[in-house]
A and B are shown apart, each in its own frame.
Chain A
Amino acid sequence: MERDLIKESKEIAEKIIKGEFRLTIAKYYLLWSTFPLVLFALFLINTRYPFLNYPIALSGYLYYNFKIFLDFSKTVERVNGIKRRGKGKYSVITALWSIPTAMIIVGLDFNYPYLTLAGSIFGIVYSLFAYYDFTKSFLDFHYYDLLAVITFIAEIISIGVCVTLKIPLLEIMWVPYALSWIYAAYASFMEVIEGE
């Protein structure tokens, strides 16, 4: 009987923690949905040293990204009562997307089309890997998660196409990505939060 009680209570605790993980993902979507806008604003403000804009924006975003996922890892660690290996796994996976984006931006700014192309390929491979890893984790994957992955991949592909074919639509390509990530954040919040 005690064994059932221990097992059932652990399942309930995990269900609650799973809800907390969805909240963490909601914060993640919301955080990165604003990134293109903040970067765009920085490029408007700081025209003297434009190469500094990406590292400045990225350092703040990465700090918060690591913080929200490490806080979550500590929670899981306390509930399980043991130190887990790969504690910062989600912090790293979720922050990795900044590398292909950096390659694309640097490639565009300094006219290195091959760097942009390499960044695009890396970004697509990374998105598929992240998608596969998250579906295997204890996160229930919903249509808005898929939408977020698809728009991220589409944004990378569209940048590649715009650069190759010299189509002047580069800035607009961020819009579907930002909107879908805002929507994914909203839907994720709604999944665990409602009015009292």
Chain B
Amino acid sequence: MSDDLKKLMDILSDPSLNNSVRLGILLALYGLESINFSQLLKILNIPKSSLYTHLQVLEEEGYIKMSKKFTAVGPRTFIEITEKGKEVMRQYSMLVNKMSEKK
């Protein structure tokens, strides 16, 4: 097994990232930096409770942080990626791209 593949397996073996919804959200946040909860809910079209659970798992691992902010249309929950989240996604993107180039 190559070093890159081993590193990628290590990232994906993290229980909080071993789920396509959580990994997808974190990957999108790596690009967007932040997004609000209602926007994410509408785009993903999954039950509110399961989205909240996914986000809680990511927050507990320190990949994201959630905060309530007041906006022109009322209070909204914002989800932001942390430095730890950015670092893991930087490595993940690099490894996935390296491996797809090798193919």
Contacts and interface: CB of A to CB of B under 8 A. Distances in A.
Given A18-B43, A81-B97, 17 more contacts: A2-B12, A4-B20, A5-B12, A6-B96, A12-B24, A12-B28, A13-B24, A13-B25, A15-B24, A75-B32, A79-B30, A79-B31, A79-B93, A191-B42, A192-B42, A192-B43, A194-B38
Interface in B36-89: 37-44, 73-77
A195 interface: yes
A196 B12 contact: no
Give the interface SS of chain A, mostly helix, strand, loop or mixed: helix
B102 to A, nearest CB: 14
Interface residues of B, number: 33
B96 to A, nearest CB: 6
A17 interface: yes
Interface residues of A, number: 32
25 contacts: A4-B20, A5-B23, A6-B12, A6-B23, A12-B24, A12-B28, A13-B24, A13-B25, A13-B27, A15-B43, A16-B35, A16-B44, A18-B43, A19-B39, A75-B31, A78-B93, A79-B27, A80-B93, A80-B97, A81-B93, A192-B43, A193-B42, A194-B42, A195-B73, A196-B38
A142 interface: no
Contacts of A2: 8-9, 12
A16 B38 contact: no
Give the interface SS of chain B, mostly helix, strand, loop or mixed: helix
Interface in A1-55: 2, 4-6, 8-13, 15-20, 23
